[in-house]
A = this chain, B = another copy of it.
């Protein structure tokens, strides 16, 4: 009957090894050999579980996107007040003491760079951004009196807020002194509050 499959667990180990290596070396310099060593596995095994290196990256991007989405959804379910929901959304990605590892932040910046030349990565990247944008539009429409979810004001505000959040990620990875993640969240929230006159 053979041993029970542990493929899923192994795959996850490999993906997380890539995350750790990539957050220090970037994607190209994260060689299969190094990923294997980081994961404590033999190099050959990597290609048993993933056909190509890009497939691992794709799995990583999907995993990060999935985790983020999942966390966002859970957080917005836990609270019911619209403003609290909005706060939860912002905090979920930007607040200090997050489950979000600093490695994920660095990796995310690297992923953005890779998405420039790898359409498959770009697609997943865009998917996450779009999902976030949808959520944010909904949340902002809820707190902004008299504005419909597809009104120009809501759309623009949401987009620029998403940009600010992505930018905060980038700066916290590349210029940490300037943008510590801890005050990014409150600044963003304050910005929104003032903007819609709450």
Q: Are A168 and B174 in contact (CB under 8 A)?
A: no
Q: Are B157 and A162 in contact (CB under 8 A)?
A: no
A156-B171 contact, Cβ under 8 Å, with A117-B25, A178-B129: no
With a cutoff of 8 Å between Cβ atoms, the chain B residues found around residue A174 in the complex are 112, 115-116, 122, 125-126, 129
With a cutoff of 8 Å between Cβ atoms, the chain B residues found around residue A24 in the complex are 116-117
Complex Cα distance, B187 from A106, in Å, reads 27
For residue A130, which residue of chain B has the nearest CB? B178
Complex Cα distance, B174 from A107, in Å, reads 16
Contacting residue for A195 out of B42, B114, B167, B191, CB 8 A: B191
Q: Are A163 and B157 in contact (CB under 8 A)?
A: no
**A97 at the B interface (CB under 8 A):** no
Q: How many copies does the complex hold?
A: 4
With a cutoff of 8 Å between Cβ atoms, the chain B residues found around residue A106 in the complex are 116
**A160 at the B interface (CB under 8 A):** yes
With a cutoff of 8 Å between Cβ atoms, the chain B residues found around residue A170 in the complex are 112, 163, 166-167, 170
With a cutoff of 8 Å between Cβ atoms, the chain B residues found around residue A2 in the complex are 42
In the complex, chain A residues 128-149 whose Cβ is within 8 Å of any chain B Cβ: 129-130, 133
Give the shortest distance, in Å, between A35 (CB) and chain B (any CB): 15
Q: Are B191 and A163 in contact (CB under 8 A)?
A: no
Q: Mark A91-118, 1 if CB is under 8 A from B, else 0.
A: 0000000000000001001111111110
Q: Mark A186-198, 1 if CB is under 8 A from B, else 0.
A: 1110110011010
For residue A2, which residue of chain B has the nearest CB? B42
Contacting residue for A160 out of B26, B111, B156, B191, CB 8 A: B191
12 contacts between A and B (CB under 8 A): A26-B114, A112-B173, A115-B174, A122-B175, A125-B174, A126-B177, A133-B178, A162-B167, A163-B164, A164-B164, A167-B170, A194-B197
